[in-house]
Structure 1
Amino acid sequence: MFKHTTIFHVALLSVALCSAPSVMAEGASPKAFGSQYTPVAPVSSGQAQVVYYRAPAANVQAGAAHVYVDREFQSALLPGGYSAFCVTPGQHTLGAYLNDAPQYKGKSTDVYSAQLTGGMTYFLKVSEGANTSPQAVPRAQAEIELAATHQQVHALSRASHVVACDYQRMPAAASYKDYSLSGDVLFAFGKSGYADISVSGRKAIRDLIGQLRSEHATLEQIEVIGHTDAIGKPAANHALGLKRAQTVRRVLLDGGLAATHIDASSAGSSEPVSSDCQGSRAEQVACYAPDRRVVVRVDLLP
């Protein structure tokens, strides 16, 4: 969340952007843009990463938006440009200002403050039409717009608090896909047997079989995992989860699901999706409902 703060007058930036040699890296090409945006990798917990960008030329003002970090010049974003940089976690001032030259008041007035958390990446969009607070955009939405942008390369950063990003390995692509069946749809509370599956539960499994056949040309390995809520002792929950997984496995085989291996296992109550369920037993049973599930995990072929 960004908030407006007022600061005292500070020395104005002494360089002219875009055209002055002092903001160009020595020997750099005069072109404004570099490579097209690709998803940024995560950074270590000792840094916070910011991706600041402007939408492409349609419906935006001409000219550069000067980006400042802690009152020091970071970049000059043209329409369709982005800048990715890292700082140490903590409180920082951030802003992007249109029509900033020649006085460069953006570094001394209308500065906005943000508390940046280590290991996080923040996507900020330049506010067009007014020098207002940056627009914080969710990553999924930001990267749709960023796909049409290019790295801004023509201006040299003067922001002393910006550090080289300590990029971490990108998470590996998932090698499996999970399909979750509600335990309350499959079974009555505490039940797990083949004869205990409800009519709606059998239909849910039949529907899942059809979905698996339509989405996967070949099914090599399937694991059926039973999950329970936290009510009761862990050993009993593990046993209940395993029985439910074994029952669902049997129904999958009855449905003619062609897989080389279909295994059953239990996570018991060790992987909850709900939290802080309080109240009477009936209230807790209702609150914990999302935890009671059977997950069908399909290995994806490389």
Structure 2
Amino acid sequence: MNQTTSSFSLARGIRVFAIAPVMLLAGVIAHPASAQQPTLQSAPERISQQAIHADHGAYEATQNRIRALNDRAIEVDNYQLAKAQCWLDTSFHEYTRNDRGGYPQAALDEAVRIIGALESDQQPGMQTPLVNNADKLRVDLWQKFDSLKQATGFSCAAQATACAEVELVHAGNEIHDGGWRHANPYIQIAEDLVSKAEQQAADCAPPEAQVERFDLEADALFKFNGASNSDILEKGKRQIEELVAQLGQVYLSIERVEVVGHTDRLGSSQYNQRLSEQRAETVKQFMQAAGFSAPINASGRGESMPTAATAGCKGERASAALVKCLQPDRRVSIEVTGTRK
């Protein structure tokens, strides 16, 4: 009699049983109709070579349907496809252990249900049933499954989560047939997979966006009292171009940029407000011309937000000393909201 073989795959840390190629006996062929809803031979009939080969054909046909879904670009670590594979694996595992109960057929049925939904472009659902009247073991792990499915990085942990759920149902089935001693290895597999899934989700979740501000001296950017593109100094152009290049190198993604113009307190508030707005708009346009593609908003604050560095500057007349003292207030602030690499 041909023997069923199984093996373990260490890829991704998930146990996978490889179904051996089946050489069907003459007259025992897995027809397409039976492949859609495979029914294993009853336990008493699994003593004949013909019956065992027919069951192997059912497993092989189901595995081929999973492969066809993968060929349709459903990735192997997709939650639903991974769960179908793990149901099939545990079904075949118990079949090779000569399980005389209902788990091999129940697990195979669940795999086929998910496969059929995916083939019809339907959603199989996110719940994992306790097939074959399995006990619901380890409520804490089921709570972790629910948390993982809500995690930002679940897409990276989907395969491990799906297989952990199936293994816990597998363990709940073993309680009936063999007691805790038989269930314990599968609980351990579920625990290991949960730990792996949690780490994968944590590693996959994108870091939180942060806000970073860059202050450019207006005196280095523009000619005295200038605000237009023609008023930008060569030094100012280099500063903006270098900043644009720097942002592209250090940021993974940029949500938005706020360009804010500021002036000192010399002159009228109306003039200073208009000057700050014009300078902010000019810097925005220059950044875009330099290749910066993230959304930019430009605004002016005029003289309303002086820096702490100028708190000691005395006087109201525009003396050379006061102009120099107020220099830190004349600036363009660029606030970047994004995620660093």
Q: TM-score range by the shorter chain?
A: 0.3 to 0.5
| TM-score, length basis structure 1 | 0.41
Which structure would you say has the larger Rg?
Answer: 2
If each structure's helix is expressed as a fraction of its own residues, which one has the higher value? 2
Query: Which has the bigger relative contact order, CA under 8 A and spacing at least 6?
Result: 1
- Please state which structure has a larger fraction of its residues in strand: 1
